[in-house]
Amino acid sequence: MESEIRYKEGRNELVFKKVFNTYWSPYLVMAVAGVLSALYFGVTGTVWAVTGEFTRLGGHILEWFGVDISGWAYFNLIHMQGTTFTRTDGWIVWGMFVGALLMVLLSNNFKIRMPRQKRRLLQGLIGGFVAGFGARLALGCNLAAFFTGVPQFSLHAWLFIVATAVGTFAGAKIVGTSWWKGKPVLQKGNTARMMKERKKIQPYIGGVLALAYAGLIVYFYATGKTMLGTAALFGAGFGILIERGQICFTSAFRDLWISGRATMTKAITLGMAVSSVVTLIIIVAGGMDPITKIAAPSTLIGGLLFGIGIVMAGGCETGMMYRLMEGQVVFLPVFIGNIAGATVLAYGWDHLGIQKALVAMGKPVNLIAVMGPAWALVVTLVLLAAGFATAVFWQKNYRFGVGFKKGETHHVH
């Protein structure tokens, strides 16, 4: 009997370690995220996105300081009704933070981490600002293009993806320069000092947080706030997935240019394909209208700036969220920069004529309306398959990114 109990305890401990102390396959994570994204659209009629809420937060901050934003066209476009805690988009964001933090605590992985170079704090702020400005210029960040735009068959998403690829290449060149890197910080070697193992209290804190958050979701449903409960639930699910899969859209491109690795690129492409299939089923079966964004010069320019910004910042919005929950302080200014950049774009939308110059001539184009549901899906899957094959080829033939083919040796003179 005692041996059986020990066996069960050992098995439970093994399962716990496998779930919380090891990262999950990014392919599995992205496939599940694709399904959840489609289901969230089917249930709520809205999409998984974050930077729109970042922009609203910027608007609320301005209001707290007495600024009248009622006449700002961009804020009227994205709707400022209520607060971040009474909107579904708000609970998608806070749910992602909570879900990521839960996984960090349960894996005993929270630790305040300061960057070795203090200049990284300013660089993160600048990168976050550029990314936030670019994302909102394009009317959405990587999620609004990759995981909602493509599966919603919106043409703007493909323009944004191409522009982001170019932007990340430019960003990789910028961060590779000596003036950006600065002088390397040398650290002392091993001093043979014994470090006491941290007491594993974090999983218990994570357990309490999970119960509290579950109680909040139950409260939302019990009081008739079903959409808030659904957003909070899905938001936590997305946060859990991105943290356990270490999903970062920045690395999907940046790694191609710098190291030739394509794992994240392939995983995200797979997730988009899964989401496209499930989303189309929901659109057709439910008679729903796909959400289509404007395709315009602003989409290309915004995607370019977004790509540059996320590489300068060291992570996109999703990567920033779970890394901040891990205690990586450098991503706090990235978060602040995102909000600031989005808010400046909101001001410039009509006050500086951005909408008139870069957006007004565009129009929303949906592949379903252009070629019908079947062909829209076929074209989307073919393009994604081509992207996946390109990533496979790239990883196979390039060891160290652009300019280095596998097997080549470059001598330094």
Question: Which residue is associated with the tokens 């891990």?
Answer: 326
Segment 154-165 shows an average pLDDT of 94
Which of 180-189, 250-259, 281-290, 317-326 is predicted least confidently? 180-189
Residue with tokens 């989409």: 299
Q: Which two tokens stand for residue 313?
A: 């910042």
Phi, psi of 334 (to 5 degrees): -65, -45
Give residue-wise pLDDT tens across range 312-362. 998 888 889 999 999 999 999 999 999 999 999 999 999 999 999 999 999
**Would you call 2 exposed, middle or buried from its count of C-beta atoms within 10 A (0-12, 13-18, 19+)?**
exposed
Phi-psi category of residue 140: left, alpha or beta, with phi > 0 → left and psi -120 to 50 → alpha: left
CA distance 384 to 398: 21
Give the phi and the psi of residue 316 in degrees, each rounded to 5.
-85, -170
| pLDDT for the residue numbered 198 | 53
Contact 298, 354 (CB under 8 A): yes
Look up the pTM and report it. Answer: 0.88
**pLDDT of 404 over the 80 cut:** no
Q: Do residues 239 and 97 touch, judged by C-beta distance below 8 A?
A: yes
When the pLDDT of each residue in the chain is averaged and rounded to a whole number, the result is 88
pLDDT surpasses 60 at 51: yes
Helix 317-325 vs helix 331-351: angle between axes, to the nearest 10 degrees?
A: 140
Tokens for 143? 């999620």
Q: 39: which DSSP letter?
A: H
Lowest mean pLDDT among 68-82, 88-102, 193-207, 240-254: 193-207
pLDDT tens for 243-266 read: 999 988 888 888 888 888 889 999
125 pLDDT above the threshold of 90 = yes
Q: Provide the 3-class DSSP secondary structure of residue 165.
A: helix
**3-class state of residue 65 by DSSP:** coil
Asked whether 228 and 219 are in contact (CB, 8 A), the reply is no
**Under a CB-based contact definition with an 8 Å cutoff, are residues 199 and 13 in contact?**
no
Query: Among 64-73, 158-167, 187-196, 205-214, which stretch is predicted with the lowest mean pLDDT?
Result: 187-196
Q: Which of 130, 189, 138, 161 is nearest to 308 (CA)?
A: 130
User: What is the three-class DSSP state of 315?
Assistant: coil
Rounded CA-CA distance 232/246 in Å is 21
- Predicted local distance difference test score (pLDDT) of residue 190: 47
Of 301, 317, 324, 335, nearest in space to 124 by CA: 335
User: CA-CA distance, 351 to 344, in Å (whole number)?
Assistant: 10
Is residue 208 within a helix (H) or strand (E), and if so which, with residue range? helix 202-222
**CB distance 79 to 122 below 8 Å:** no
Average pLDDT over residues 115-141: 93
- φ/ψ of 93, rounded to 5, equals -65, -55
**Contact present, 394 and 262 (Cβ < 8 Å):** yes
What mean pLDDT is predicted for residues 384-391? 94
**pLDDT > 50? residue 193:** no
**What pLDDT is stored for residue 182 in this prediction?**
78
Radius of gyration of the chain (CA): 22
Q: What is the DSSP string of 234-296?
A: HHHHHHHHHHHTT--HHHHHHHHHHT---HHHHHHHHHHHHHHHHHHHHHHHHTPPPP-PEES
pLDDT tens, residue by residue, 297-315: 999 999 999 999 999 998 8
More confident residue, 25 or 188: 25
> Rounded CA gap, 30 and 245, in Å?
8
